């Protein structure tokens, strides 16, 4: 409720210091129990029970510093990372831009993070607090990228409610080539082999910049290998943008990504035909956006960029609005609305 008052001061800072300030403020917040949820929002995906379908997308809490605080803000799940096996500094600054006129963000952070080992004790300390996913990636300088994913899976599995294999960041050169059929086959085999017996579900996060043949191949290869697909990461495409930062290199997220991400959700829903659960991300900023993504096939949704513009109360506002929309349309559970617009 206070965020509209604070926002002008936050926006006077450059985007990256503002982000760090928000993390510091959250760390000071006592991470109490999550708020009570409307039971209409509870849902089961990949064997996990989510109190609500609104998650925090990867990249906000790369080092797993505040997942319990995010759950206390009303997120049904929080995804930390991307964490790479070794710490790495990421790209030179500036590398994060607020496109205020477009309600968007461009980032070319490049997987800046303190590394998996440093995050482990923090993540161990929040076990049992709720659903905390761990998003893993490869180091920029890795000689064998696939081996980095295997390392991440083996190391982080004991601490994760679920693991996300992120092969869709545009800011590590060549990373998205792992979405190609031959590379993806090898990667998924290595991930399965590295997963300990009884390990957590494995999600795969894809880019929105895919051709129909890529989508078909990813859906086919994921069957039996992946427990859910996250659709999608940021886009390297550039729709018309009003902000002076529109020409910056990197991944675009927020409002201008919404239409593309919604279309990719439909594409993947058709390609997977209900056999793999889908998680929608990209430009979701309201209960209406979340509801539309669910009706297009998403069992869960995630948000990041809209938090910059709407503030920390957004998850709870989306949850309240989503419950109303579901009741208005006669649904008893959020799962009953998944994909209804496709039928």
Ligand X SMILES: Cc1cc2nc3c(=O)[nH]c(=O)nc-3n(C[C@H](O)[C@H](O)[C@H](O)COP(=O)(O)O)c2cc1C
Catalytic residue (one of 168, 169, 222, 299)? 169
Catalytic residue check, 305: no
Whole-angstrom distance, CA of residue 112 vs CA of residue 302: 21
Select from 40, 58, 66, 217 the one that contacts ligand X (CB under 6 A). Answer: 58
Select from 188, 284, 290, 314 the one that contacts ligand X (CB under 6 A). Answer: 284
Q: Per CB under 6 A, does 107 bind ligand X? A: yes
> Toward ligand X, which CB reaches closer, 43 or 235?
235
Q: Per CB under 6 A, does 57 bind ligand X? A: yes
> Toward ligand X, which CB reaches closer, 88 or 305?
305
Whole-angstrom distance, CA of residue 128 vs CA of residue 126: 6
Q: Per CB under 6 A, does 272 bind ligand X? A: no
Which range in 28-36, 67-75, 280-288, 321-329 contacts ligand X by CB under 6 A?
280-288
> Toward ligand X, which CB reaches closer, 169 or 262?
169
Q: What's the length of the chain? A: 343
- Residues within window 13-42 making contact with ligand X, judged by CB under 6 A: none
Measure the CA angle with vertex 69, ends 75 and 116; round to 5°. Answer: 100
Select from 84, 233, 272, 319 the one that contacts ligand X (CB under 6 A). Answer: 233
Q: Per CB under 6 A, does 331 bind ligand X? A: no
Q: Residue 135 CB, nearest distance to ligand X (Å)?
A: 5
Measure the CA angle with vertex 111, ends 146 and 19; round to 5°. Answer: 155
Select from 52, 305, 312, 325 the one that contacts ligand X (CB under 6 A). Answer: 305
- Residues whose CB is less than 8 angstroms from the CB of residue 128 and which lie 6 or more positions away in sequence, other chains included: none
Q: Per CB under 6 A, does 315 bind ligand X? A: no
> Toward ligand X, which CB reaches closer, 51 or 133?
133
Chain position whose Cβ is nearest to ligand X: 59
Whole-angstrom distance, CA of residue 38 vs CA of residue 57: 22
Both structure tokens of 331 = 């649904």
**Within a 13 Å sphere around the CA of 119, how many CA atoms are in the beta-carbon half?**
32
DSSP conformation letters of 104-122: EEEE---S-B--HHHHHHH
Number of residues that bind ligand X (CB under 6 A): 27
Quick one: angle between helices 212-222 and 181-194, nearest 10?
20
Q: Does 94 sit behind a cis peptide bond, omega within 30 degrees of 0 on the bond before it?
A: yes
Q: In this structure, what is the dihedral angle of CA atoms 161, 314, 115, 127, given to the nearest 10 degrees? A: -30
Select from 234, 262, 272, 319 the one that contacts ligand X (CB under 6 A). Answer: 234
Which range in 39-47, 143-151, 268-276, 303-311 contacts ligand X by CB under 6 A?
303-311
Q: Residue 257 CB, nearest distance to ligand X (Å)?
A: 5
Look at residues 95, 182, 191 and name the one whose alpha carbon lies nearest to residue 136. 191
Asked whether the beta carbons of 111 and 87 are under 8 A apart, the reply is no
- Residues within window 62-81 making contact with ligand X, judged by CB under 6 A: 62, 81
- Residues within window 201-220 making contact with ligand X, judged by CB under 6 A: 205
Q: Per CB under 6 A, does 301 bind ligand X? A: no
Cα torsion angle, 50, 54, 57, 63, sign: negative
- Residues within window 113-172 making contact with ligand X, judged by CB under 6 A: 135, 166, 169
> Toward ligand X, which CB reaches closer, 284 or 334?
284
Look at residues 332, 338, 268 and name the one whose alpha carbon lies nearest to residue 297. 338
> Toward ligand X, which CB reaches closer, 40 or 69?
69
Whole-angstrom distance, CA of residue 80 vs CA of residue 87: 15
The residues of the shown chain that bind ligand X, judged by CB under 6 A, are 57-59, 62, 81-82, 96, 105, 107, 109, 135, 166, 169, 205, 233-234, 253-254, 257, 281-284, 303-306
- Which residues does the annotation mark as catalytic? 169
């Amino acid at each position: 409720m206070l965020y509209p008052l604070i926002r002008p001061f936050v926006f006077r800072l450059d985007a990256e210091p503002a982000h760090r300030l928000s993390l510091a403020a959250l760390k000071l917040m006592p991470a109490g129990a999550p708020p009570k949820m409307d039971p209409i929002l509870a849902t089961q995906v990949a064997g996990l029970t989510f109190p609500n379908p609104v998650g925090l997308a990867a990249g906000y809490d790369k080092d797993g510093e505040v997942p319990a605080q995010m759950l206390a803000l009303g997120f049904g799940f929080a995804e930390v990372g991307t964490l790479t096996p070794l710490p790495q500094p990421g790209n030179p600054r500036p590398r994060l831009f607020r496109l205020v006129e477009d309600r968007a963000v461009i980032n070319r952070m490049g997987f800046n993070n303190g590394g998996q080992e440093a995050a482990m004790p923090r993540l161990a300390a929040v076990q049992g607090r709720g659903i905390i996913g761990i998003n893993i990636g490869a180091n920029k300088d890795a000689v064998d990228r696939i081996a980095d994913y295997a390392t991440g899976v083996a190391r982080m599995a004991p601490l994760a409610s679920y693991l996300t294999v992120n092969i869709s960041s545009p800011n590590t050169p060549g990373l998205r080539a792992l979405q190609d059929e031959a590379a993806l086959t090898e990667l998924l085999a290595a991930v399965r082999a590295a997963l300990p017996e009884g390990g957590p579900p494995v999600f795969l996060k894809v880019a929105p910049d895919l051709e129909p043949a890529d989508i078909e191949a990813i859906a086919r290869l994921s069957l039996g290998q992946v427990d859910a697909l996250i659709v999608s990461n940021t886009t390297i495409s550039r729709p018309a943008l009003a902000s002076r930062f529109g020409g910056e290199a990197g991944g675009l997220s927020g409002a201008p990504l919404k239409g593309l991400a919604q279309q990719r959700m439909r594409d993947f829903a058709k390609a997977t035909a209900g056999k793999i659960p889908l998680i929608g991300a990209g430009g979701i900023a309201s209960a209406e956006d979340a509801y539309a993504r669910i009706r297009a096939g998403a069992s869960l949704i995630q948000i990041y960029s809209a938090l910059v513009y709407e503030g920390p109360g957004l998850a709870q506002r989306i949850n309240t609005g989503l419950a109303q929309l579901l009741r208005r349309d006669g649904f008893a559970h959020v799962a009953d609305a998944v994909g209804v617009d496709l039928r």
